[in-house]
Amino acid sequence: MEHPLSLYKLVLFDLDGSIRFCKAHHGPCHAGPGEWQLYDDVPAVLAQYDWGKIAWGVASNQAGVALGYLTAGVALQEAYKTIQAAFGGQVPSRGRIRICMHAPTDGCACRKPAPGMLWQQQAYWECTLDETLFVGDSLEDAQAADRAGCAFIQAYEFFGRPKPVWATWTQAERDVAYREVAETGGRLE
């Protein structure tokens, strides 16, 4: 699928559920190294674009740090390994990884659905809101993009994956699911 990335100076990616998935489940977040796996389609899709002209960034919630599942160092190292694999081993220099290491209940300004990480990336790359695209997989990602004032695309659309079941639901069905997600602190996948 062709994307008009020429419209953007900055493309931000969520990690979990968008670029990588967890091979093991240890509660509300991932527990450690070796448990993430890159989606097979990511390197081929990213190779289609000129990352010398477009800055890339990561904006990812990693509550496992605050909850004691992994250290900040491991979270950052695993994020970098994911990005390195996503770009076929050669990470473009115009990129930056930002992760929120706060617990879901901390109320910080950076944890999605708050727009803090997206604004930090936009400020760092000196991009306007309309020059930024955020690729994510969750309601939190879509809300963060909306609150940051930038464009959003679902990861399944960006990477040309089959449409997930939830994407076929009516608005009423989505509203019920979103309420359940908000009440339980879970994710809609």
- Show which residues are catalytic: 14, 16
For residue 57, which phi and psi values (nearest 5 degrees)? Answer: -155, 160
**Within 13 A of 59's CA, how many CA atoms are on the CB side?**
34
**Cβ atoms of 134 and 141 closer than 8 Å:** yes
CA-based R_g, the chain, Å: 16
The H-or-E segment that residue 149 falls in is: none
**Cβ atoms of 113 and 140 closer than 8 Å:** yes
Distance CA 8, CA 89 (A): 24
Distance CA 158, CA 3 (A): 7
**Cβ atoms of 67 and 103 closer than 8 Å:** yes
